[in-house]
Structure 1
């Protein structure tokens, strides 16, 4: 996965708290074995309502979703993150997130941006006044900039590093391969050992 350093784009406002993964990616779309093709199904049930923000042409092509508190709660399903990414979002800005959702973001390259509630309200006010307003999320400086202001945001240091360098759990383990091999070679012969190339 590619690293994430800066996200720049227009915002889509989703002024709802406690948006859970069951709504982001409904269960009927979880039977696929591929990791692709989920973007079309994001918020499938809510999109049946013509007034739902995803049906508002003013926000078509937005790459930053501005959502309410406790975003991504509910069941742990990576499909929700995959769907948001494949729909076109590169970052989600919210006052708070489910921890499991943040972990899934780190594994897939979606930037979760936890801001103060005042910043959340300011972003909503900005996009309400100008649906074409752009926001810039700088992961290196943990800063959000928009036409009317700037603010810092919180992110777990490990999640930040994983996103900056495009590292999922497998990559993080492989980065420690030298230490893992050394450990396996030091283990006593009577213990269960994992075969390591070059060890006896």
Structure 2
């Protein structure tokens, strides 16, 4: 998994609350684990409208999404995270995220930054004034910068370290490989053999 320390990217404003995972990627695209083509499936139904934000020339190459309250609510589909990443998004900023979506995001290296609605409003205002403006996120310093504005943010320390290290579940498990191997060696000695009696 790619580590996240600092990132600067084009910001796209999604001024909608309660964007659920079925809107992020419709269920008809959620089968198997093949991630190819998921960029085209991202917000597929919404992208049929020319007015949709990612259809606008200023935002087609966006890699930072600035969203509304409760982004990623709804069902627990990991494809929602995969589709955002396949499109090129490295981070999503919002006042709050769906719990399961948040868990899936950190496991896959997508940074979610929670900011007060008043801060999101200020960032949207900056984007409106200068479409194509970039947002810089520093996970080490825990800051977001847009134009001359800088905002701090809080993040769970364990999740922060995981993102800084670029560690997925397998990486975290392998940190305990020697303990796992020792357990397996001792466990095998205690297992019954073909000739042992059963009580």
> Any conservation in 2 of the 1:116–1:153 contact (CA below 8 Å)?
no
- Which moves more between the two structures, 10-19 or 147-156? 147-156
Q: How many Å separate the matches in 2 of 1:27 and 1:134? A: 31
> Any conservation in 1 of the 2:25–2:79 contact (CA below 8 Å)?
yes
Structure 2: 5+ residue runs without aligned partners? 193-199
Q: How many Å separate the matches in 2 of 1:74 and 1:191? A: 44
> Any conservation in 1 of the 2:35–2:86 contact (CA below 8 Å)?
no
What TM-score do you get using the length of structure 2 for normalisation? 0.90
Q: What is residue 198 of structure 1 aligned with on the other side?
A: none
Q: Please state how far the C-alpha of 1:159 moved relative to its aligned partner.
A: 1.6
Q: How many Å separate the matches in 2 of 1:120 and 1:85? A: 21
Write out aligned runs for 1:79-118 (5 A). 79-118=79-118
> Any conservation in 2 of the 1:36–1:82 contact (CA below 8 Å)?
no
> Any conservation in 2 of the 1:126–1:148 contact (CA below 8 Å)?
no
Structure 1: 5+ residue runs without aligned partners? 193-200
What is the aligned length? 192
Q: What is residue 154 of structure 2 aligned with on the other side?
A: 154
Q: How many Å separate the matches in 2 of 1:24 and 1:160? A: 24
Q: What is residue 129 of structure 1 aligned with on the other side?
A: 129
SS at match of 2:150: strand
Q: How many Å separate the matches in 2 of 1:116 and 1:191? A: 55
> Any conservation in 1 of the 2:35–2:82 contact (CA below 8 Å)?
yes
SS at match of 2:58: helix
Q: Please state how far the C-alpha of 1:185 moved relative to its aligned partner.
A: 4.7
> Any conservation in 2 of the 1:103–1:159 contact (CA below 8 Å)?
no
What TM-score do you get using the length of structure 1 for normalisation? 0.89
SS at match of 1:173: helix
Q: How many Å separate the matches in 1 of 2:157 and 2:167? A: 13
Q: Please state how far the C-alpha of 1:140 moved relative to its aligned partner.
A: 1.0
Q: Please state how far the C-alpha of 1:179 moved relative to its aligned partner.
A: 2.5
* Structure showing greater Rg: 2
Q: What is residue 197 of structure 1 aligned with on the other side?
A: none
SS at match of 1:57: coil
1:8-63 Cα deviation digits (max 9, x unpaired): 01110001111111110101111244122201110011111221111111112111
Please provide the CA RMSD for this pair.
1.7
